[in-house]
Amino acid sequence: MSLLEAQERLRQQHLEWFRNHYKEQFGESTLREQEELVSGVEPNHQRPDWDLYYVNMLPQIGMRATCNRGRSGCIITDQEHHIIMTGYVGAPPGMPHCDEVGHKYEWRLDYDPFGATGFDLDDMHRHCIRTTHAESNSIYSAAKKGIALENSILYCTMTPCQRCAEAIVQSGIKRVVTAREYHDTAPAVEYFKQGGVELLTVGGKIEYKA
Ligand SMILES: [Zn+2]
Ligand SMILES: [Zn+2]
114 CA to centre of ligand 2 in angstroms = 26
Q: With contact defined as beta carbons under 8 Å apart, do 190 and 199 qualify? A: no
Name 61's bridge partners: none
81 CA to centre of ligand 1 in angstroms = 31
pLDDT (average), residues 94-113: 90
For the chain, the maximum distance between any two Cα atoms, rounded to a whole number of angstroms, is: 87
169 CA to centre of ligand 1 in angstroms = 25
Indicate the pTM of the whole model.
0.78
35 CA to centre of ligand 1 in angstroms = 51
State pLDDT tens for residues 139-195. 999 999 999 999 999 999 999 999 999 999 999 999 999 998 887 788 899 999 999
DSSP letter assigned to residue 121: G
Q: Which of 84-88, 132-136, 181-185 has the lowest mean pLDDT?
A: 181-185
What is the pairing mode between strands 153-158 and 125-128?
unpaired
The CA–CA distances, whole Å, from 179 to 4, 183, 199 equal 48, 13, 11
136 CA to centre of ligand 1 in angstroms = 15
Q: Which ligand is nearest to the CA of 101?
A: 1
CA 71 from centroid of its chain's CA atoms: 10
State pLDDT tens for residues 39-61. 778 778 888 899 999 999 999 99
Mean pLDDT of the chain: 87
CA distance 51 to 85: 16
